Structure 1
Amino acid sequence: MAHELWLIKGGTKTNITPMIGTLTWRSNMAELGDELNFSIAFNDTNYFPVNPCDIGDMVVLLNNGKEITRVIIVDEVKSGTSPISYIGFDYAFYLNKSTAVYQFKKLSADACIKKIAKDFNIQIGKIVSIPKPIAQIYNDKKVSEIIKDILETAEKSLGVKYLMEMRQGKLYIEKQSNVVVTGTFQLYAGGTKYDIHSAIMNPSKKRSIVDMANTIQIVGNNDKVVLTKTDNKMVEKYGRITKVVKLDQNEKKSAKQIAENELKQFSKVIEENDVELMGDDNFRAGRLFKLEEPVTGIKGTFLIKDVLHTISKGIHTMKPSLEVK
């Protein structure tokens, strides 16, 4: 089995792979961080190996020596002599659970996030320049929600999508368009690598206009409409669906750009696709993936909204949910 799960206790590393059953890990764009689930074989008879895992321990998932994710065990479930189940989250767990107060006075978005990371002892791998001044007070908000709001504010103004994820215990924020994955898989360690498109299972496709907005109204602090921007072709075809965006005084100058960016994001038919594929560790929520599937007509470059990886009996499969970029 190329994948291995290692328990880290201080300076001691223990390979617990032989003790575990099914292993899963997942990421979701609605959440910050990865979740890993595994179970440890348990028996109360004499001479059965002692379970080395405990709440607060770190476990690291490797594939041929390369780190996939590292998590802190936060949940343990025991039920008789059944396998003991564990749930772990990466270091973003602390950002998801902590609340804080911040007041930013026209500090660039990347500088704001770097300050937050420093305050919570989160190591930074790379944070790209995000030249959007942030003038905002956050009072008793979850830290992860503060970071998301900063990025959303920057995305509306700059028209750039950003990818945020933890890698090897460090925070990375990059332009989404720079992280495109191409999938391959092996049937066994050291075997031939196959293109992931050669084994597409259970494809499904959904198209909807429920979340469409083809008219954007920009409203100022005084609740007066500053600007209205309309996608006339989409209104003619689907009817007028309006979204109101409220800006503060400092953002009024960029009202036109924000309206255009909002139309670009929402004035379209939303397409969601689900497939099952052989596993590739590079598939994580927020990354992009090119796929062509002839039966349902799925074709294009898609945003991975969420993905569940499963390793059972040595076979690695995954279920990504894909949205048109």
Structure 2
Amino acid sequence: MNIYIINNNKTYDITQYVGTATLSGDYQLCARQLDFTLVSNAADSNIQAINCSLGDGVVLKENEKIIFNGFIFERDKSKDDSLINITCFDRGIYLKRNKGIYNVSSTAEAITKRICNDFKINIGSIATTGVNIKRKFINVSLLDIIQTMYFIASEQTNKKYVLRFDDDKLCVIERNETAVLTLDGTINLMNAVISESAAEIINQVIIYDKNNNIINTIKNDDSIKTFGLFQEYIKKGKEDANKQAKQIIADNDIKQKITVSNLGNINCISGNSLIV
């Protein structure tokens, strides 16, 4: 892998001065994070002084393929240490940190493109839903606006969507159940920890109408019998309330989590599917 710093419209390969590097991401945050250490010692003439100012561009490549493109947002250095600790974020941070006011009457894909145009964000592949939605957003983060629109659309399309940046372009893709990687204990799986939790179960949803009258109750009898009652309320709107209630129960059932350690692979990106 190679790491480059871009400042004053010039690109510098700093790979030989990088100690460690960690690339991470979270499907709920959109922004990917790159942390690395940079060797710096003014007393050693063999070490080139690298300009790594806040706001400078940083690109990480593997075999000439860009797998991170972002900017330096944090750096620190101890006087007793010859390493500068640098934290970078890709352009997803602009979706997370910027807020907007939008009165939407369009599809999720349309408002996503409008937001990108308003905030000068390059547009990549944007998933098409064809679902027209009316919604008001006041002082809401751009990320929450886009995610909310696609979540509402998913209730009709029965598809799940993932936001990510490819190089410097925002992409919204349909979550693909086809595995990009198989983790095998005899090949590339180093460790796995499996946990289960019933701590956040919801097994009954009461549906109210606009006059606060109960119109239906959706529940999971087996779950109630096993764990007791955990109830939530929703008000019927334009969406199918029964379907919404069933989804709430399904999304808040017993959760299984598998945490794995494996040999590095650039296909392990938040939102991709794996086989363990």
TM over 0.5: yes
CA distance in 1, matches of 2:182, 2:168: 24
Q: Which runs of 5+ in 1 are unaligned?
A: 185-194, 292-325
Q: Which secondary structure does the structure 1 equivalent of 2:200 belong to?
A: coil
Deviations 1:47-104 (A, max 9, x none): 3411122111111111111111111111121221521111110011111111111111
Question: How many angstroms does 1:157 deviate by?
Answer: 4.7
Q: Which secondary structure does the structure 1 equivalent of 2:187 belong to?
A: helix
Aligned to 1:24: 22
Which moved further from structure 2: 231-240 or 114-123? 231-240
For the structure 1 residues 120 and 197, does the alpha-carbon distance in structure 2 shift closer, same or farther, using more than 3 Å as the test?
farther
The amino acid across from 1:103 in the alignment is: N
Which moved further from structure 2: 46-55 or 25-34? 46-55
The amino acid across from 1:174 in the alignment is: I
CA distance in 2, matches of 1:197, 1:162: 32
Aligned mate of 1:15, from 13, 16, 25: 13
8 Å contact kept, 1:109–1:150 = yes
Aligned mate of 1:211, from 200, 217, 224: 200
Aligned mate of 1:227, from 203, 208, 216: 216
For the structure 1 residues 221 and 25, does the alpha-carbon distance in structure 2 shift closer, same or farther, using more than 3 Å as the test?
farther
CA distance in 2, matches of 1:6, 1:246: 52
Question: How many angstroms does 1:143 deviate by?
Answer: 1.6
For the structure 1 residues 25 and 219, does the alpha-carbon distance in structure 2 shift closer, same or farther, using more than 3 Å as the test?
farther
For the structure 1 residues 196 and 129, does the alpha-carbon distance in structure 2 shift closer, same or farther, using more than 3 Å as the test?
farther
Which moved further from structure 2: 86-95 or 144-153? 144-153
1:180-219 paired onto structure 2 within 5 Å: 180-183=179-182, 198-219=187-208
Aligned mate of 1:245, from 234, 240, 246: 234
1:67-216 paired onto structure 2 within 5 Å: 67-82=66-81, 83-105=83-105, 107-178=106-177, 180-183=179-182, 198-216=187-205
Question: How many angstroms does 1:183 deviate by?
Answer: 4.8
Aligned mate of 2:35, from 34, 37, 40: 37
CA distance in 1, matches of 2:207, 2:178: 32
Question: How many angstroms does 1:214 deviate by?
Answer: 2.3
8 Å contact kept, 1:8–1:59 = yes
The amino acid across from 1:262 in the alignment is: I
Q: Which runs of 5+ in 2 are unaligned?
A: none
Aligned to 2:251: 265
8 Å contact kept, 1:159–1:261 = no
CA distance in 2, matches of 1:139, 1:17: 44
8 Å contact kept, 1:221–1:247 = yes
Give the structure-2-normalised TM-score.
Answer: 0.89
Aligned to 2:275: 290
Aligned mate of 2:260, from 269, 275, 283: 275
CA distance in 2, matches of 1:164, 1:197: 33
8 Å contact kept, 2:53–2:72 = yes
The amino acid across from 1:284 in the alignment is: I
The amino acid across from 2:245 in the alignment is: A
